[in-house]
Amino acid sequence: MRVDVVSLFPEFVAQMASHGVVARAQERGLLGVHGWNPRDYAEGNYRRVDDRPFGGGPGMVMLIDPLRAALEAARAADAAEARVIYLTPQGTPLTQDKVKELAGRSRLLLLCGRYEGVDERLVEAEVDEELSIGDYVLSGGELAAAVLIDAVARLQPGALNDAESAAQDSFEHGLLDCPHYTRPVEHALGTVPDVLLSGNHALIDAWRRRQALLRTWLRRPDLVDKAALGPEERQWLEQ
């Protein structure tokens, strides 16, 4: 898959994409990340990319034309149809289900805003979807773009090594992940739960599932309501 990012700080996204799983996905030819700076498409000596908001108020709004030219340049770099996603706290919340859907596309075009946002006419004309990564405010969409790229990169077939298998991930079953332990068994901070040393995989799976359920119920009751639980699991939580 190819991801193009329109941002005033394209190096930020490139830097993030040069480490870990995302870098490996790129080296393996599974993913390409390309940045486009609207300032390169801005007019005049000052190469303005923003201006004051009509109606007054604080902050600045990103101009239509430099963004549109950068989107156009990104589109022209590859023939595939790109879904245009604007990263904004006003977007719908990003979930693992959404990540899976986007990971299956051959191309994404991410638009990162700065300042108070971008001119709404650009959003209406060019954007297919608005996404947020949570209920807090970042000073720009770049971190959100980095989050989205990381999440879709690790789902590209061949991006993860066997040991990192995405099938075991948190949210894969609609629940948080269970706790994990490694050597040593005995440590001043505590002992590894016996069941994990039992070699009985049915027991281990059952324990992990219960831990995941309990954690999710304690920390994220909203997820328990949506998860596909068996009737005996619901009963166990309620007792």
- Give the C-alpha separation, 129 to 100, whole Å: 15
Residues 6+ apart with CB under 8 A from 219: 176
- 154 part of the active site: yes
Q: Give least dist CB 142 to ligand 6GU, A.
A: 9
* Interface residues toward ligand 6GU, by CB under 6 A: 87-89, 91, 132-134, 136-138, 140-141, 144
Shortest approach of ligand 6GU to residue 11 CB, angstroms? 18
Please report how close the Cβ of residue 207 comes to ligand 6GU at its closest, in angstroms. 35
Of the two residues 119 and 217, which places its CB atom closer to ligand 6GU in the complex? Answer: 119
Q: What is the DSSP letter of 194?
A: G
Q: 138: annotated binding-site residue?
A: yes
CA–CA distance, 110 with 146 (Å, rounded to integer): 10
**Options 2, 48, 89, 105, the catalytic residue:** 89
Beta bridge partner(s), residue 85 = 110, 129
Give the residue among 46, 35, 51, 129 at the shortest CA–CA distance from 86: 129
Q: Does 133 appear as a known binding residue?
A: yes
Respond yes or no: is residue 89 known to be catalytic: yes
Q: Which of 169, 177, 220, 233 is catalytic?
A: 169
Nearest approach, Cβ of 139 to ligand 6GU (angstroms)?
A: 6
Strand ranges inside 50-162, DSSP E = 50-51, 61-62, 83-93, 107-112, 117-118, 129-132
Contacts of 220 (CB under 8 A, 6+ apart): 176
Residue closer to ligand 6GU (CB basis): 36 or 217:
36
Residues making up the annotated binding site for S-adenosyl-L-methionine are 113, 133-138
Residues making up the annotated binding site are 113, 133-138
Residues labelled as active-site residues: 89, 116, 154, 169
